[in-house]
């Protein structure tokens, strides 16, 4: 339709919706005093709820921002930023909200959750509303959903599962019509079941998690509830003794990690540079597992690769240093020995796992997860520590450091890649890094694989 943007259509259709206002207000009253961050705030539909808090409205769509018309007495700061990487200090706010299915659109949603966990104070709250993917009665609006002023139109909206793409994949289709013509919009979303989202929140240190029907406020019924709401309180993340020892080591060297890598004669970055040279000047979607201080971004910069690059590392200090590089679209501190956090399928063109898989306890599950998140023809670049004659038993705690490492023979890795249905493009053996403890090079298996089938 002429002279009517998607943002305007959404505004005209939803600006009167207030079904979640009471729940947000009640939960806000339970949270400590302080500011609130509204992730994916759109045109500020819920801004009037927080009349006693400083508000940060996070929205990266200019058309949406132009529609924000909040009362002047409200203390509002608009952040024209993506929800995966916001310019708000860590541990500084009291409440984070993801209203009316917003979280499902902020793909990969784990990075939005990670940002909320980062900026929230201990004791701060998180509120979200999601579509319930376990019911057969998904929300929909037929042509009776209409608007007459200042532009007359009708709209039909349907949310459909795309299970052939991924377990939690959905598309909301919106058809808008009037005398000037019709438009068709598709919104790509991820809607995990309530219990799956609740477990993911626990991994980020959230507790006191409550799930209820977002429209009635009654108990959640997985077969009947159309929209569910979750409230949660940020507490402390549980860390095993084994992982705590390893995390402490990496936290302690975060500020000098580049020199540690250089002194250790680490070979992985040169291998990566050679392998991704064909992508020079491109804009891929990349996931960097075990990203450390973001050292791999140096290779991307050198090759002028400016895609959407995301990083995960369990060391909070490493993540802080990676943020300083200002090259990643999203970064989270997360232990990959917990459940794999990326729930969306076919999401990344490229996955890196350099110098991290030797610390992953369930390598078979990790490889299957890497395959799941790769796009068709997507490629992964992986390193594995090779078994040698004097290796300690794989999975044994290293006495001098009190953490566990895993190593494999070439045959074991080939079999694991085959069982994970990853196509091997190339495998190379070579030195990984120099170990001052062993006083010799630690051998690596450098693996380049791709996903070829659904």
Largest CA distance in the chain: 78
What is the mean pLDDT of the segment spanning 154-164? Answer: 86
Burial tier of 400 (Cβ tally within 10 Å: 0-12, 13-18, 19+)? exposed
* Residue carrying the six token digits 């630690």: 442
Q: Please determine, looking at this structure, whether the domain spanning 241-450 carries the CATH number 3.40.50.150.
A: yes
pLDDT band at 104 (very low <50, low <70, confident <90, very high): very high
User: For residue 147, is pLDDT > 80?
Assistant: no
**pLDDT at residue 269 greater than cutoff 60:** yes
Mean pLDDT over 238-251 rounds to: 85
pLDDT at 181: 85
Among 2-6, 173-177, 319-323, which is the least confidently predicted range? 2-6
The residue-averaged pLDDT of 325-330 equals 96
* Mean pLDDT calculated for residue range 3-27: 91
Q: What residue ranges do the domains of the chain occupy?
A: 6-133+189-234, 241-450
pLDDT, residue 4, reads: 81
Please tell me the predicted confidence (pLDDT) of residue 138: 62
Q: Is the pLDDT of residue 143 over 60?
A: no
- CA–CA gap between residue 286 and residue 300 (Å, rounded): 10
Residue with the bigger pLDDT between 135 and 417: it is: 417
What pLDDT is attached to residue 64?
97
Q: Which residues contact 413 (CB under 8 A, 6 or more apart)?
A: 384, 427, 445, 447
Check: CB of residue 153 under 8 Å from CB of residue 178: yes
The answer to whether 6-133+189-234 and 241-450 have equal CATH topology is: yes
Lowest mean pLDDT, pick from 162-166, 173-177, 220-224: 162-166
What's the token pair of residue 318? 């490493």
pTM of the shown model: 0.94
Task: For the chain, give the mean pLDDT.
Answer: 93
pLDDT of res. 281: 96
Mean predicted confidence (pLDDT) in 131-158: 76
Count of positions (residues) in the chain: 454
Is residue 1 pLDDT above 70, yes or no? no
As a whole-number percent, the residues of the chain with pLDDT over 90 amount to 77
Pairwise pLDDT comparison (363 vs 161), residue with the higher score: 363
* pLDDT at residue number 101: 87
pLDDT of residue 240 exceeding 80:
no
Three-state DSSP string of the chain: CCCCCHHHHHHHHHCCCCCCHHHHHHHHHHCCCCCEEEECCCCCCCHHHCCCCCEEEECCCHHHHCCCCCCCCCCEEEECCCCCCCCCCCCCEEEEEECCCHHHHCCCHHHHHHHHHHHEEEEEEEEEEEECCCCCCCCEEEEEEEECCCCCEEEEEEEEECCCCCCCEEEEEEEEEECCEEEEEEEEEECCCHHHHHHHHHHCCEEEEEEEECCCCCECCCCCCCEEEEEEEECCCCCCHHHHHHHHHHHHHHHHHHHHHHHCCCCHHHHHHHHHHHHCCCCCEEEEECCCCCCCHHHHHHCCCCCEEEEEECCHHHHHHHHHCCCCCEEEECCCCCCCCCCCCCCEEEEEECCCHHHCCCHHHHHHHHHHHEEEEEEEEEEEEECCCCCCCCCCEECCCCEECCCECHHHHHHHHHHCCCEEEEEEEEEEEEECCCCEEEEEEEEEEECCCC
Kindly tell me if the per-residue pLDDT of 56 is higher than 70.
Answer: yes
Least confident range of 35-39, 119-123, 170-174, 201-205: 170-174
Domain 6-133+189-234 has CATH 3.40.50.150: yes
pLDDT at 145 over 90: no
* pLDDT band per the 50, 70, 90 thresholds, residue 393: confident
């Amino acid at each position: 339709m002429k002279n009517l943007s998607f943002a305007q259509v959404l505004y005209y259709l939803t600006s009167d919706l207030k079904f979640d206002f009471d729940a947000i207000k009640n939960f806000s009253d339970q949270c400590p005093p302080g500011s609130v961050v509204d992730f994916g705030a759109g045109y500020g539909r819920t801004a009037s709820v927080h009349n006693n808090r400083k508000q940060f409205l996070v929205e990266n769509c200019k058309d949406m921002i132009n529609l924000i018309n909040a009362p002047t007495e409200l203390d509002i700061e608009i952040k024209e930023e993506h929800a995966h990487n916001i310019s708000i200090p860590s541990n500084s706010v009291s409440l984070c909200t993801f209203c009316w299915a917003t979280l499902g659109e902020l793909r990969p949603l784990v990075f939005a959750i990670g940002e909320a966990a980062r900026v929230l104070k201990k004791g701060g709250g998180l509120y979200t509303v999601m579509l319930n993917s376990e019911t057969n009665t998904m929300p929909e609006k037929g042509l009776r959903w209409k608007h007459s002023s200042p532009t007359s139109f009708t709209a039909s909206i349907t949310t459909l599962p795309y299970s052939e793409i991924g377990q939690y994949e959905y598309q909301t289709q919106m058809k808008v019509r009037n005398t000037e013509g019709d438009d068709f919009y598709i919104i790509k979303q991820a809607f995990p079941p309530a219990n799956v989202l609740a477990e993911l929140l626990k991994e980020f240190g959230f507790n006191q998690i409550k799930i209820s029907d977002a429209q009635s406020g009654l108990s959640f019924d997985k077969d009947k509830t159309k929209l569910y709401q979750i409230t949660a309180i940020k507490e402390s993340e549980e860390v095993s003794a084994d992982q705590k020892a390893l995390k402490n080591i990496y936290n302690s060297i975060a500020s000098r990690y580049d020199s540690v890598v250089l002194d250790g004669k680490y070979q992985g970055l040169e291998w990566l540079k050679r392998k991704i040279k064909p992508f020079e000047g491109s804009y891929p979607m990349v996931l960097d597992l075990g990203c450390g201080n973001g050292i791999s971004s140096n290779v991307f910069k050198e090759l002028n690769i400016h895609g959407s690059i995301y990083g995960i590392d369990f060391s909070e200090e490493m993540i802080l240093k990676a943020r300083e590089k200002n090259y990643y679209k999203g970064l989270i501190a997360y232990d990959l020995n917990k459940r794999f956090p990326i729930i969306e399928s076919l999401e990344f063109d490229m996955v890196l796992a350099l110098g991290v898989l030797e610390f992953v306890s369930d390598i078979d599950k990790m490889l299957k997860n890497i395959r799941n998140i790769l796009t068709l023809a997507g490629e992964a670049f992986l390193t594995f520590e090779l078994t040698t004659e004097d290796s300690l038993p794989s999975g044994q705690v290293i006495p001098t450091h009190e953490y566990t490492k895993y190593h494999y023979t070439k045959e074991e890795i080939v079999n694991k890649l085959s069982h994970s249905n990853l196509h091997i493009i190339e495998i190379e053996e070579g030195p990984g890094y120099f170990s001052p403890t062993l006083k010799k090079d630690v051998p690596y298996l450098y693996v380049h694989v791709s996903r070829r089938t659904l």
